[in-house]
């Protein structure tokens, strides 16, 4: 891990505005942590991201799903409706 970040594998608060947040998140994913926090990190109070993230202008963005995933979601919804009507 670069940048001397220090995520801990325990529940707590995270600073999403920290410039090292992405590196810490990558470590948590690599370690398969379900939760982590910034309580002992020297950067926990920083407020400047290293990259400029684009703002979402649309409050309800839409996404195109690949056909295989769309079919799985559609079948799942249809199955849940059938189960609801049978009950």
pLDDT tens per residue, range 30-66? 999 999 998 888 888 887 755 555 666 666 667 777 8
State the chain's mean pLDDT as an integer. 79
H-type alpha helices, 1-87: 21-30, 67-86
Q: Which two tokens stand for residue 60?
A: 């309800």
User: pTM for the complete prediction?
Assistant: 0.49
User: So what's the pLDDT on residue 41?
Assistant: 86
CB atoms within 10 A of CB 23: 18
């Amino acid at each position: 891990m670069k940048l001397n970040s220090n995520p801990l594998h325990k529940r707590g608060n995270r600073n999403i505005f920290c410039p090292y947040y992405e590196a810490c998140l990558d470590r948590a994913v690599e370690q398969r942590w379900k939760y982590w926090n910034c309580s002992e990190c020297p950067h926990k109070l920083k407020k400047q991201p290293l990259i400029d993230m684009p703002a979402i202008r649309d409050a309800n963005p839409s996404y195109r799903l690949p056909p295989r995933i769309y079919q799985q979601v559609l079948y799942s919804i249809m199955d849940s409706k059938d189960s609801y009507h049978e009950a």
